[in-house]
Structure 1
Amino acid sequence: MDFQMKRLHNGILEFKITRPEKRNAVNFEVMEGLSQAIERAKETDIRALVVTGEGEQAFCSGGDLSVFHALRTEGEAYRMLSKMGKILHELTILPKPTIALINGTAVGGGCEIATACDFRIAKAGAKMGFIQGSLAITTGWGGGTLLFERIASYHALKLLSEAAIYRAEQLAHTGFVHRVVDRINEEVVERFLQNELTIHSSVLSAYKQIQIRKWASSDLWEKMDQEIKQCAILWEAEAHHEAVASFLNKK
């Protein structure tokens, strides 16, 4: 199985991508697993959801190009992109605290997953970047729209437009990374949430609902879907397929 889901003590649910040999890249099985984790996290015994990756090298390297490069047309791309986009929208509006525990490199779609979470804790030195532009596409799972919701717009535009790689420490000042730690483990999460874990879960959900209502009134999903549609158009272009082929040949 390409993912693992387990309930830790204190009511924390951990979802882990377990494809270290693929740098924890997302395939359709991982998508389904994340969707299951979100549904499980809605249950009353869960207080928070943590998303992470297996190993010390990668949190998530984005979509598995060896799988998704077979998608050639705008329609094929949109079906895949919108599937993951809807999952990330559900993750975003989950009425529980969510944490991306960034244990290693998070690039492309990996950064989009992290952006969908409320908080991001990163291992010192972890490399991160919205590198989609280097593949002649935009963020395709709605992560660009979410980034503008999470941090100041000038930081968001810079991170997206540059398609560059940064270290966790560099992203802390933008508000994208909330805490940089030397070692990633569940104790890090418990320390980060130590005050929240003393508060009744219904209170935490009520506060999250304030933010969810704001997003609902501003048509968050519609904005994400427009982003996804634009990416699908770019996906079909030859420039994207050539860029992906060049990237896969280098590997």
Structure 2
Amino acid sequence: MMLELEQRVRELETWTEGKAVIVQGAAGTFCSGSDLNAVRAIANPHDGMKMCEFMQNTLTRLLRLPLISVALVEGRALGGGAELTTACDFRLMTSDGVIQFVHKHMGLVPGWGGAARLVRIVGSQNALKLLSGAKKVDPDFGKQMGLVDEVLHCSSGEGNALAHAEQWLSPFIKGPAPVIQAVKRVVVSGRELPLDEALQTERSVFGTVWGGPANLEALALKPKHK
């Protein structure tokens, strides 16, 4: 799964016409964590650190894609699966979805960047509760603390969660791909860079769309903002 995920991220990094990506599991489960047999095979510090570095890099690149990313949580997102949800811009859950950082039960802490991202999403107090308590996050609890952006009115077994997610996402990706990607780039820079560097990036990105096709078309239409 790790190698396949990195390959998909690499492909998305070259998707110049894209606007968004929805990360979805299979068979009613988002991601139930690592295969224990595979984990036992690399249960030493050297191999563990190599895996940690590989997945931190992969998930950081996923989050920095110039695409709006959505984690569609159907069923369980446990351990590494919970960390994967934090590498997306938005998290949507079906009515039976569960996110749980079970690392403590395995004698571990998140190693794929999940803890650092979780703090930025829900704050340090809530992150500490979720990690130290290995608390199960259901849709209502997740939305209450800000981890979940929307609860979809369907369950993992109904087979229509993706359609619901696409409908939820549609207002955010309405418009030309270069503009949507530019929006994502300025948000990423504002989130990750010191203010002066973020402002410089914003100026640079602004220069790529000012006077561009979408801008000129909008000016020609003389839109009335609602």
Q: 2:174 aligns with which of 181, 198, 216?
A: 198
Distance 1:133 1:86 in 2: 23
Contact 2:102 2:131 in 1 (8 A): yes
Q: Which residue of 2 aligns with 1:235?
A: none
Q: 2:113 aligns with which of 142, 146, 151?
A: 142
Give 1:1-251 correspondences, 5 Å limit: 30-42=1-13, 43-56=15-28, 58-183=29-154, 184-217=160-193
Q: What one-letter code is carried by the residue in structure 2 that aligns with 1:49?
A: V
Distance 2:17 2:147 in 1: 29
Contact 1:132 1:163 in 2 (8 A): yes
Alignment size in residue pairs: 188
TM-score, scaled relative to structure 1: 0.70
Identity among equivalent positions (%) equals 30
Q: What one-letter code is carried by the residue in structure 2 that aligns with 1:106?
A: A
Partner of 1:72, secondary structure, is: coil
Q: Which residue of 2 aligns with 1:26?
A: none
Q: What one-letter code is carried by the residue in structure 1 that aligns with 2:20?
A: A
Distance 1:194 1:114 in 2: 20
Distance 1:208 1:45 in 2: 14
Partner of 1:98, secondary structure, is: strand
The alpha-carbon deviation at position 149 of structure 1 amounts to 1.7
The structure with the largest alpha-carbon Rg is: 2
The alpha-carbon deviation at position 216 of structure 1 amounts to 4.2
Contact 2:94 2:161 in 1 (8 A): no
Contact 2:33 2:77 in 1 (8 A): yes
TM-score, scaled relative to structure 2: 0.78
Q: What one-letter code is carried by the residue in structure 2 that aligns with 1:97?
A: I
Partner of 2:30, secondary structure, is: strand
Contact 2:74 2:96 in 1 (8 A): no
Distance 2:43 2:171 in 1: 48
Q: Structure 1 residues 38, 211: closer, same or farther in 2, change over 3 A?
A: same
Contact 1:125 1:169 in 2 (8 A): no
Distance 1:174 1:206 in 2: 29
Contact 1:41 1:48 in 2 (8 A): no
Partner of 2:151, secondary structure, is: strand
Partner of 1:91, secondary structure, is: helix
Q: Which runs of 5+ in 1 are unaligned?
A: 1-29, 219-251
